[in-house]
């Protein structure tokens, strides 16, 4: 693996990784409607692309499994087999294996050998054998192809033997199969180029095909063939916009290129590099592409053979002969599949539905992107750097704003200068805000990226639990910051598992309770202002209040006489505590009492909120609210003694100036009466290790997180500011209340108060 | 930087050490210049509650928040008033950037590795673990600090572990 440029390998991993995760969710969708031709095509194409790239990198083991899966899908696409559960299991296993192999590739390890039984099962499907054949079908195509490469074939003049690396030899037949397949389709499309109504569509499909051919040809490292492919691709691209005259000249020549490629492929099959030169063909096509007319004209209605004759000097008969020849023996329908006795329609029409389905989609896509790609891949590091710079910009902007405010109040400077400065500062403010949003958006990704993994998860859970579960996903297009996506993955898996394992009942129980046999889990995402709300709703048995309450009493979290008075919400909240589980038995899915604690911690890390509501017998809803981004947040700056701290604004309920009479202490801890409730207070002395005397704290900031409230006593209120969170690395705080630091508008550093930690401290004292 | 920097050129010896020397509580210390990112004048430190005692606070180093440690406390010397000459030496240790306070920065010095000897058992009042070697230079005694041991993850990791 190391023989390749790490960059190329990395590109392969990124691209194929994306394709693979899409593929996985598509497969699960496909299972719902195994005959959906569009979905079958999509899945097939993704797998084909992965295989193509892998073969370029000589990843033999990966290609083997991908090829087997691909042939199974091809059979399904041609309606020879139906993807049933068994077939789907095999396909998903193949996807798992490819994933594993890609992981190994990333670590530069050897790729694991595909399981023979799996390959055989897939290959059997590919041959149209629906029931698992016990024989060794995988060997069949190989045996069929081997006579094609006899030792020492007779070389024609100008031909050279094909020399391939060890790793590549195994792949030869796959690649030639691919080439034949693509070239066959290319020939069909090339013929349509002279059709006045269909030429645009044909050209666009030809472009795709040329791409596929180029990828296969790349593998053989035969420069002239690559040149032909590139020429074909460029011609296909230019064709749609070419003048009528140029089209008449170009169409037969495109056909000629395809024929040329055909005969060269034919030679490759015999392990020969065909030395046939293509004379002026490429040159003239290139002239046509660039808008010039060639120096040699073809009569209207000329065929590919005429073009070959004119441009290469080859005799028309031999060229068309070669083309016809390869049509006969290279069509994958006759090579890879058994005789089409079992196929209801003729083999030749098989690729047509695929082509039609593409035709619907591709031109639209191409029209939307006239000047090439509209997206580029950017390394995350660069975005991160950009984000940091924007953070700096926000801080500098804050400084400018602070200075402007000071100028406004000072007497120096003329009135006009001050106004100018204010204007400039507010302009800067606006632009900075826009840049911030724009940069943040580059880091945004749809939740779909995460959600697409879950249908598979639920499918597997169905198998393990014996339940029938339908997963409904809504709002996958909702975008959140990349870091949020990363942190959200584990909690969502936990919650979905919980819903499937604990929430939903077995089919029989559901029927007995008068509910539909299939349980539904809904995963819904939506934007709520600057937050994203995620709901995980199941229609299962709901949380058992009595059991949770009993467990809480047993663990001494609440007194038995108090528990009845607690609202449901607070009782349910106990399940977020570490080690709290009411499951009777620990399964390998859940029940260890770790999950919900981890979920809560992760969500709090994202400055998010989580809450639960449940109705016994009717299901549970978990609601998660998280900010769109975690890098920049609005905060209230407060002074404590001489120091300045930042408090996240989202967590501030209100700020009050308590009447000394409302302050008291219960059991040694200070509390405050706030209207008709009692609010625990945290004093600056405890939290900030400041001397208790001498620090005036006239204000109480009422903080709230997940329905727990606490009051923080402070000296001064300074004002709102957007702060950029910076990590406090290497300082080694002992779990203090500082959740990070930020740079103030005066350039100094302020610590950010970690509200979750503060509340934990307040509650810790409650229990003590 | 207002302090004087003089270059002592010593041409002999196969390996040359280039050191930054500074003073803490009357003793002269040195660290490898390659570890030093910059030397700053004293600036406002933001105290971090509930941090290890030797962490004096954090500063904003061009947008990066870095901890600043007091070498006196790390060495167990009595604390002293910060004066006009107090500097923050910013170093990178095992990929982590941090600053430490010194009473005064002396100079950048080139010495031959030949005159550096392993630390004798009782050379000075600080923990011998922190000392990479001792350099004798005319009538001066330079204590070469081992930054890895002084601030490396093992040293600070213990503090962090105690915190967690």
pLDDT digit string, tens, across residues A594-627: 577 788 888 888 878 888 888 888 888 999 988 7
Count the domains in chain A: 5
- Residue A504 banded pLDDT, cuts 50, 70, 90: confident
- Residue B33 banded pLDDT, cuts 50, 70, 90: very high
B126 CA: distance to closest CA in chain A (Å):
22
Q: What percent of chain A stands above pLDDT 90?
A: 3
Mean pLDDT on A630-644: 84
Q: Does A372 touch chain B (CB under 8 A)?
A: no
Residue A403 lies in a domain: yes
Lowest mean pLDDT among A585-599, A701-715, B28-42, B52-66: A585-599
Residue A152 lies in a domain: no
- Residue A330 banded pLDDT, cuts 50, 70, 90: very low
Lowest mean pLDDT among A12-16, A242-246, A521-525: A242-246
Judge if A305 and A406 occupy the same domain. Answer: no
Lowest mean pLDDT among A178-192, A644-658, B33-47, B55-69: A178-192
Outline where A538-679 has alpha helix (H).
545-554, 560-563, 568-573, 595-605
* pLDDT tops 50 at residue A360: no
Segment of A75-89, A450-464, A588-602, A626-640 carrying the highest mean pLDDT: A450-464
- Residue B21 banded pLDDT, cuts 50, 70, 90: very high
Q: Does A733 touch chain B (CB under 8 A)?
A: yes
Q: What are phi and psi of A719, to 5 degrees?
A: 145, 175
* pLDDT tops 80 at residue A284: no
Q: Which two tokens stand for residue A186?
A: 């290319």
Domain boundary (A388, A423, A443) is at: A443
Cβ contacts of residue A386 below 8 Å, gap of 6+?
Answer: A439, A442
Domain range list for chain B = 7-163
Segment of A278-282, B2-6, B26-30 carrying the highest mean pLDDT: B26-30
Chains A–B, number of C-beta pairs less than 8 Å apart: 84
Domain boundary (A565, A593, A627) is at: A627
Residue A504 lies in a domain: yes
* Residues of B in Cβ contact (< 8 Å) with A726: 63-65
Give me the pLDDT at residue B155, please: 57
Higher pLDDT, B108 or B4: B108
Of B49, B60, B98, Cβ closest to residue A687? B49
Q: Which two tokens stand for residue A507?
A: 């089919």
Give me the pLDDT at residue A540, please: 86
Judge if A454 and A580 occupy the same domain. Answer: yes
Cβ contacts of residue A435 below 8 Å, gap of 6+?
Answer: A390, A393
Q: Which domain holds residue A48?
A: 6-137
Judge if A706 and A612 occupy the same domain. Answer: no
Contact B50 A741 (CB under 8 A): no
Give me the pLDDT at residue B30, please: 93
Give me the pLDDT at residue A301, please: 61
Q: Which of A370, A365, A355, A417 is nearest to A206 (CA)?
A: A355
CATH of residue A416's domain is 1.10.287
Is the pTM higher than 0.80? The answer reads no
Give me the pLDDT at residue B121, please: 60
Q: Which two tokens stand for residue A387?
A: 């984000």
Contact A749 B59 (CB under 8 A): yes
* pLDDT tops 50 at residue A419: yes
* Residues of B in Cβ contact (< 8 Å) with A736: 48-51
Judge if A15 and A70 occupy the same domain. Answer: yes
Kindly report, residue by residue over B41-82, the tens digit of the pLDDT: 988 889 888 788 888 889 988 778 889 998 888 888 888 888
Residues from B contacting A (CB-CB < 8 Å) are 44, 46-52, 55, 58-60, 63-67, 96, 98, 156, 159-160, 162-164
Kindly report, residue by residue over A109-138, the tens digit of the pLDDT: 777 887 788 888 888 877 776 654 333 334
* pLDDT tops 80 at residue A522: yes
Q: Which of A10, A252, A236 is nearest to A108 (CA)?
A: A10
Judge if A175 and A103 occupy the same domain. Answer: no
**Strand extents, DSSP E, A553-651:** 609-615, 619-627, 632-640, 643-648
Residue A284 lies in a domain: yes
Judge if A524 and A565 occupy the same domain. Answer: yes
Residue A353 lies in a domain: no
- Residue A358 banded pLDDT, cuts 50, 70, 90: very low
Kindly report, residue by residue over A431-485, the tens digit of the pLDDT: 888 888 788 788 888 888 888 888 888 888 888 888 888 899 998 888 888 888 8
Contact A743 B162 (CB under 8 A): no
Of A643, A730, A751, Cβ closest to residue B67? A730
CATH of residue A109's domain is 1.20.120.160
Higher pLDDT, A358 or A436: A436
A399 CA: distance to closest CA in chain B (Å):
13
Q: Are A337 and A128 in contact (CB under 8 A)?
A: yes
Judge if A430 and A558 occupy the same domain. Answer: no
Q: Which of B62, B69, B73, B72 is nearest to B88 (CA)?
A: B69
Judge if A731 and A593 occupy the same domain. Answer: no
Of B50, B60, B63, Cβ closest to residue A734? B50
Residue A473 lies in a domain: yes
Judge if A231 and A83 occupy the same domain. Answer: no
Question: What b-and-e string marks burial along A511-538, b requiring 16 or more CB atoms within 10 Å of the CB?
Answer: eeeebeeebbbbbbbeeeeebbbbbbbb
Residue A366 lies in a domain: no
Per the rule left: phi > 0, alpha: psi between -120 and 50, beta: everything else, A128 is: left
SS3 state of residue B150: helix
Q: Which of A90, A89, A132 is nearest to A114 (CA)?
A: A90
- Residue A47 banded pLDDT, cuts 50, 70, 90: confident
Judge if A166 and A275 occupy the same domain. Answer: yes
Q: How far is CA B7 from CA B32, B114, B144, in A?
A: 15, 19, 18
Q: Which CATH superfamily is domain B7-163 in?
A: CheA-289, Domain 4 (2.40.50.180)
Q: How far is CA A382 from CA A8, A171, A618, in A?
A: 19, 38, 48
Mean pLDDT on A724-743: 73
- Residue A352 banded pLDDT, cuts 50, 70, 90: very low
Kindly report, residue by residue over B132-142, the tens digit of the pLDDT: 888 888 888 88
Give me the pLDDT at residue A477, please: 87
B17 CA: distance to closest CA in chain A (Å):
28
Give me the pLDDT at residue A421, please: 81
* pLDDT tops 60 at residue A15: yes
Judge if A673 and A555 occupy the same domain. Answer: no
Domain boundary (A443, A461, A494) is at: A443
Give me the pLDDT at residue B89, please: 95
Q: Are A288 and A246 in contact (CB under 8 A)?
A: yes
Q: Are B65 and B58 in contact (CB under 8 A)?
A: yes
Give me the pLDDT at residue A294, please: 63
* pLDDT tops 80 at residue A659: yes
B-interface mutation test, from A392, A639, A732, A738, most B Cβ less than 10 A away: A732
Kindly report, residue by residue over A545-574, the tens digit of the pLDDT: 888 888 888 887 778 887 788 888 788 888
Residue A143 lies in a domain: no
Judge if A464 and A522 occupy the same domain. Answer: yes
* Residues of B in Cβ contact (< 8 Å) with A743: 60, 63, 65
Q: Which of A734, A726, A737 is nearest to B160 (CA)?
A: A734
ipTM: 0.77
Give me the pLDDT at residue A534, please: 92
For residue A391, give the chain B residue with the closest CA. B63
Taken as a whole, chain A contains a residue count of 768
């Amino acid at each position: 693996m190391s023989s390749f440029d790490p960059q190329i390998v990395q590109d392969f991993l990124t691209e194929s990784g994306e394709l693979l995760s899409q593929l996985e969710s598509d497969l699960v969708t496909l299972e719902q409607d195994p005959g959906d031709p569009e979905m079958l095509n999509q899945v097939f194409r993704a797998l084909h692309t992965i295989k193509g790239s892998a073969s370029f990198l000589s990843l033999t083991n990966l290609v083997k499994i991908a090829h087997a899966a691909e042939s199974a899908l091809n059979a399904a696409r041609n309606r020879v087999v139906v993807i049933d559960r068994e077939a789907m299991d095999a396909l998903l296993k193949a996807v798992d294996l490819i994933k594993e192999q890609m992981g190994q590739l990333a670590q530069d390890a050897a790729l694991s050998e595909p399981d023979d039984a799996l390959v055989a099962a897939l290959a059997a499907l590919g041959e149209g054998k629906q029931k698992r054949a016990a024989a060794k079908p995988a060997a069949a195509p190989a045996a069929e192809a081997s006579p094609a490469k006899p030792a020492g074939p007779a070389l024609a003049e100008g031909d050279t033997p094909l020399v391939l690396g060890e790793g590549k030899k195994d792949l030869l037949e796959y690649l030639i199969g691919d080439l034949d397949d693509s070239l066959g389709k290319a020939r069909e499309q090339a013929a349509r180029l002279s059709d006045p109504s269909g030429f645009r569509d044909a050209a666009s499909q030809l472009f795709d095909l040329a791409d596929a051919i180029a990828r296969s040809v790349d593998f053989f490292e035969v420069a002239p063939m690559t040149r032909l492919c590139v020429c074909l691709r460029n011609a296909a691209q230019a064709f749609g916009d070419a003048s009528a005259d140029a089209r008449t000249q170009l169409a037969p020549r495109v056909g000629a290129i395809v024929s040329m490629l055909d005969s060269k492929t034919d030679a490759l099959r015999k392990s020969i590099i065909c030395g046939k030169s293509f004379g002026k063909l490429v040159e003239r096509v290139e002239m046509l592409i660039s808008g010039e007319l060639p120096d040699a004209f073809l009569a209207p209605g000329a065929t590919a053979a005429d073009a070959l004759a004119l441009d290469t000097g080859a005799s028309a008969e031999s060229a068309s002969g070669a083309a016809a020849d390869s049509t006969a023996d290279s069509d994958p329908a006759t090579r890879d599949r058994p005789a089409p006795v079992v196929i209801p329609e003729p083999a030749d029409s098989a690729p047509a539905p695929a082509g039609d389905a593409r035709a619907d989609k591709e031109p639209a896509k191409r029209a939307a992107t006239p000047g090439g790609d509209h997206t580029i891949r950017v390394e995350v590091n660069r975005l991160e750097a950009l984000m940091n710079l924007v953070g700096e910009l926000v801080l500098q902007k804050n400084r400018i704003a602070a200075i402007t405010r000071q100028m406004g109040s000072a007497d120096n400077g003329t009135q006009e200068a001050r106004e100018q400065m204010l204007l400039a500062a507010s302009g800067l403010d606006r632009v900075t805000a826009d840049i911030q949003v724009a940069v943040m958006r580059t880091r945004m990704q749809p939740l779909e990226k995460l959600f697409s993994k879950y249908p598979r998860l639920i499918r597997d859970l169905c198998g393990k639990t014996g339940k029938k579960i339908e997963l409904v996903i809504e709002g996958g297009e909702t975008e959140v910051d990349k870091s949020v996506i990363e942190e959200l993955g584990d909690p969502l898996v936990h919650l979905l598992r919980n819903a499937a394992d604990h929430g939903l009942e077995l089919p029989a129980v559901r029927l007995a309770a008068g509910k539909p046999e299939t349980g539904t889990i809904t995963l819904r995402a939506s934007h709520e202002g600057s937050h994203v709300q995620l709901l995980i709703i199941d229609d299962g048995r709901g949380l058992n209040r009595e059991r949770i309450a009993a467990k809480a009493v047993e663990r001494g979290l609440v007194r038995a006489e108090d528990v009845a008075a607690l609202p449901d919400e607070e009782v349910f909240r106990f399940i977020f505590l570490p080690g709290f589980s009411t499951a009777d038995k620990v399964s390998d899915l859940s029940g260890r009492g770790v999950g919900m604690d981890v979920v809560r911690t992760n969500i709090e890390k994202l400055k998010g909120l989580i809450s639960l509501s449940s109705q016994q017998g009717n299901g549970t809803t978990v609601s998660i609210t998280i900010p769109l981004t975690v890098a920049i947040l609005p905060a209230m700056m407060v002074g404590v003694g001489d120091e300045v701290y930042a408090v996240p604004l989202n967590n501030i309920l209100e700020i009050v100036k308590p009447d000394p009479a409302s302050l008291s202490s219960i059991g040694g801890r200070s509390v405050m009466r706030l209207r008709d409730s009692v609010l625990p207070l945290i004093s600056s002395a405890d939290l900030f290790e400041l001397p208790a005397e001498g620090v005036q704290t006239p204000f109480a900031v009422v903080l709230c997180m997940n329905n727990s409230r606490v009051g923080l006593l402070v000296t001064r209120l300074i004002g709102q500011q957007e702060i950029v969170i910076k990590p406090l690395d290497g300082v080694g705080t002992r779990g203090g209340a500082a959740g990070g630091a930020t740079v103030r508008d005066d350039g100094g550093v302020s610590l950010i108060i970690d509200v979750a930690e503060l509340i934990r401290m307040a509650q810790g004292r409650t229990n003590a | 930087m207002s302090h004087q920097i003089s270059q002592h050129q010593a041409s002999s010896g196969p390996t040359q050490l280039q050191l930054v020397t500074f003073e803490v509580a009357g003793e002269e210390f040195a660290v490898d210049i390659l570890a030093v990112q910059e030397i700053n004048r004293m600036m406002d430190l933001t105290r971090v509650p509930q941090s290890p005692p030797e962490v004096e606070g954090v500063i904003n180093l061009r947008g990066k928040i870095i901890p600043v440690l007091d070498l006196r406390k790390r060495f167990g010397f009595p604390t002293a008033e910060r004066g006009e000459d107090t500097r923050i030496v910013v170093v990178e240790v095992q990929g982590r950037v941090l600053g430490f306070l010194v009473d005064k920065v002396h100079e950048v010095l080139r010495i031959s590795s030949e005159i550096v000897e392993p630390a004798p058992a009782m050379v000075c009042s600080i923990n011998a673990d922190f000392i990479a070697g001792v350099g004798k230079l005319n009538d001066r005694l330079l204590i070469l600090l081992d930054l890895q041991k002084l601030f490396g993850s093992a040293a600070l990791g213990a503090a962090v572990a105690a915190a967690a």
